[in-house]
Amino acid sequence: MCGRLSQYRGIHDFVEALSMPNAVVDAATDLRLARYNVAPTTRVALLHLDGEVLRVDPVRWGWRPEWTDRQPHPNGRVEKVAHNPYYRPIWPHRAIAPIDNWFEWVDEGGPRKQPYLIRRRDQAPILCASIGQYPADGREEKSNDGFVIITADSAGGMVDIHDRRPVVLTPELAREWLDPATPKERAEQMALHQGEPSEVFEWFKVSLAVGNVRNQGVELIQPVEL
């Protein structure tokens, strides 16, 4: 997963996909996010449970532990997140990054890599398993807050686009993932073995303009014929 995504529908649309009755604590839940070209280190709307309440907070996409000065990682490999010391502080803090699509770049022999958009075939929200450090239990935001999207090996035709993909959960599994009562061992197995298969997704070429993060707009998610 190369690290570019879209979040353009409204928070209520993402919450509705989860089918959770809990109220969302957010001042702008009726507004469309309208973000078509989101890059790491910027804020992404993140869903998580705070007690029994489903919250949405704008959290930086990317995290690193305090003991390192390396660049924050936007993604975490599913093979490592449950046991690697790097992710130990945030593995218990599970969240969902709800997105509309993500982008990958493919070397097709031209002067520039060709961007592809990947989305669900049914165009429903994509519920990405994530972990992070973010406001909860009444605490204020911290400067080192952030989150990572968990990724796994691609399969099927998606391998031709990129060798990694986000771990996408069904709404039922996403609710279980968010539940603090779900044991860590169960969460690990969900991430390892129960992500949505590649057949759920479709992909197509989009404009080279998506390569520049300053470019925004609905035209970036439209297919192009080359």
2 is catalytic: yes
104 is catalytic: yes
The amino acid occupying position 147 is F
Question: CA nearest 131: which of 147, 151, 152?
Answer: 147
* Residue-wise DSSP of 31-77: SB--EEEE-TTSEEEEEEEETTEEEEEEEEB-B--TT--SPPBSEEE
Place of tokens 């061992």: 185
> Alpha helices, DSSP H only, in the chain?
11-18, 171-178, 184-193
User: Which pair of structure tokens corresponds to residue 103?
Assistant: 């982008």
Out of 52, 66, 104, 199, the active site residue is 104
Catalytic machinery residues: 2, 104
